[in-house]
């Protein structure tokens, strides 16, 4: 099976490095210079400078070549560019091949999940989501990790599991695509909240409370959207949430940490060479919360912070002022 991965960020490059151990893999990079460095020098100095890449891994900046190569198309483009790249690639993608999203976000305007976007642009192809607590640099360093590949077709899920499950990278299957994608998107917003708490110096107890209550929030919305509660207690829910809230490698935690230390959001984002999806997702989550009539106080406060309506101190104080009810309730 020939695999194409669209998107040469840290996670796209990591997934391509995994896949190329067993099948011919082509990594598409938007920047021709980066594609040449990956293809000829076997390194990605922009995102994974400390890790040599497998010599078997090929790269190109030609999207038509990359799309036409694929028996399996993996899409790692950030959510805001996901549709545009797939639309450009679509004329070159063969019928019936599986399309796997490894992006964790929602589409602005439509509020679609990434597999929903893929299904609209590439109809007739089975779609799946790969998501879990997967920090790219740890996987490149050879540490054990686990993830979930979610698709409604059990046969396709098992076939994809065989592609991605290599060595210490364990891949579980799941049929709950909604739950897996919602967990992957919403945890980024909660990670900003956890980072804000760390920046403010609120202590581990307080941050643990934010993570636990954040999990309750994303579970409520995910179930309202059609996801299954057990999914949010698994790798694509709790597992991904913990890694993103705690790890120094987490971009969304970093954004929150810097906000908590008093920096302006524009300055933080200007100094980053990768996307922090939670900044975009915060507002989209609130649109979904209104649509499904779900209370999401933590996400609401973080949306207030990233839009400039609230200071980080006011956001935390606002959460503490409300009298707590039963643990199953929003507040």
Show which residues are catalytic.
187
Point out which residues pair with 131 in neighbouring strands: 148
The position carrying tokens 């040599």 is 52
Two tokens at 36? 């040449």
- Alpha-carbon distance 236 to 251, whole Å? 17
Q: Which residues contact 112 (CB under 8 A, 6 or more apart)?
A: 106, 120
3-state SS string for 219-245: HHHHHHCCCCHHHHCCHHHHHHHHHHH
Two tokens at 79? 């959510």
From residue 250, alpha-carbon distances to 246, 247, 254, 318 in Å are: 8, 5, 6, 25
Q: Which residues contact 131 (CB under 8 A, 6 or more apart)?
A: 102, 104, 147, 148, 150, 180, 181, 183, 184, 235, 236, 240
Point out which residues pair with 6 in neighbouring strands: 28, 75
Is-contact 166 18, C-beta < 8 A? yes
Closest CA to 15 of 164, 156, 128: 164
Q: Which residues contact 72 (CB under 8 A, 6 or more apart)?
A: 1, 2, 3, 4, 97, 98, 100, 160, 163
Q: Which residues contact 313 (CB under 8 A, 6 or more apart)?
A: 200
Closest CA to 187 of 234, 123, 240: 240
Using a 10 angstrom Cβ sphere, with 0-12 exposed, 13-18 middle and 19 or more buried, the burial of residue 325 is exposed
């Amino acid at each position: 099976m020939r695999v194409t991965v669209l998107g040469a960020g840290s996670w796209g490059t990591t997934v391509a490095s995994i896949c190329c151990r067993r099948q011919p893999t082509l990594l598409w990079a938007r920047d021709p210079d980066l594609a040449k460095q990956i293809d000829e020098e076997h390194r990605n100095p922009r995102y994974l400078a400390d890790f040599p890449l497998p010599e078997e891994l090929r790269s190109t900046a030609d999207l038509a070549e990359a799309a036409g190569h694929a028996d399996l198309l993996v899409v790692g483009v950030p959510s805001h560019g996901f549709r545009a790249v797939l639309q450009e690639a679509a004329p070159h993608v063969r019928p019936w091949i599986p399309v796997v999203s490894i992006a964790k976000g929602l589409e602005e305007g439509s509020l679609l999940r990434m597999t929903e976007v893929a299904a609209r642009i590439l109809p007739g192809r089975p779609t799946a989501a790969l998501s879990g607590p997967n920090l790219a640099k740890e996987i490149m360093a050879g540490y054990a990790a686990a993830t979930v590949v979610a698709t409604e077709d059990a046969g396709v899920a098992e076939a994809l599991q065989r592609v991605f499950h290599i060595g210490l990278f364990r891949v579980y299957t799941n049929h709950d695509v909604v739950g897996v994608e919602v967990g992957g998107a919403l945890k980024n917003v909660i990670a900003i909240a956890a980072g804000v708490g760390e920046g403010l110096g609120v202590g581990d107890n307080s941050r643990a409370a934010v993570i636990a209550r954040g999990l309750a929030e994303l579970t409520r919305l995910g179930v309202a959207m059609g996801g299954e509660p057990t999914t949010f207690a698994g790798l694509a829910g709790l597992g991904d949430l913990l890694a993103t809230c705690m790890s120094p490698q987490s971009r969304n935690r970093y954004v929150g940490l810097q906000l908590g230390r008093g920096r302006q959001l524009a300055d933080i984002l200007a100094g980053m060479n990768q996307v922090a999806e939670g900044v975009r997702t915060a507002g989209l989550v609130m649109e979904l919360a209104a649509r499904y009539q779900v209370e999401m106080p933590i996400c609401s406060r973080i949306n207030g912070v990233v839009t400039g309506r609230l200071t980080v101190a006011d956001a935390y104080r606002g959460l503490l002022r409300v009298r707590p009810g039963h643990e199953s309730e929003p507040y």
